[in-house]
Amino acid sequence: MYAFRRATPEDAERIAHRRRMFVDMGHPDEAMEEAIQAFIPWVRRSLESGYYTGFLAAQGEGVVAGAGLMFLEWPPRADSLQTLRGYLLNVSTEPEHRGRGLAKAPVQQALEHCQERGVHSVALHASEAGRRIYEGLGFRASNEMVWRAR
């Protein structure tokens, strides 16, 4: 019923399923259009260069769930001397397909990809809806804070 695969640059518009993720977190849908239009060329370029890897669950021609992964240079620190860190993003499942493990499968694929590359640290920003999935996969909360210029 569902096929799991890696995203290609041709999937850039399909990966815009992230719109639903932001709306579910309280962002107004009408405010998303400009962000989505800026995201599509970014994700296409990032898929082409290998900076971004997408893991998708598809039904027919439609993408119904997915997760994205970027590798970031990170300085060595006390808990890890590794200089590469994974960052998981764009985890989302279309509402009519939820409750079937479709968010978990792409996240697991991303984590396996990290292990294949020898990357042992992966971070993400979790919505309340996703927290249970991530905790079940071994993620734990941290004390990260965010600053945004006004």
Q: Which ranges of the chain does DSSP label H, i.e. alpha helix?
A: 18-24, 32-49, 104-116, 128-136
Mean pLDDT, rounded, for 24-29: 74
pLDDT, tens digit (0-9, with 9 covering 90-100), for 40-49: 999 999 999 9
Edge-to-edge strand ranges of the sheet holding 52-59: 3-6, 52-59, 62-73, 84-93, 122-123
List the chain domain ranges. 3-136
Euclidean distance between CA atoms 139 and 132, whole angstroms: 9
Return the percentage of the chain with pLDDT > 70, whole number: 97
Please write the tens of the pLDDT for every residue from 105-140: 999 999 999 999 999 999 999 888 889 999 999 999
Report d(CA 89, CA 148) in Å as an integer. Answer: 19
> Which of 112, 103, 9 minimizes the C-alpha distance to 57?
103
CATH 3.40.630.30 fits 3-136, yes or no: yes
pLDDT band at 18 (very low <50, low <70, confident <90, very high): low
Q: Return the closest-CA partner of residue 69 out of 117, 30, 102.
A: 117
Instruction: Read off φ and ψ for residue 139, nearest 5 degrees.
Output: -70, 150
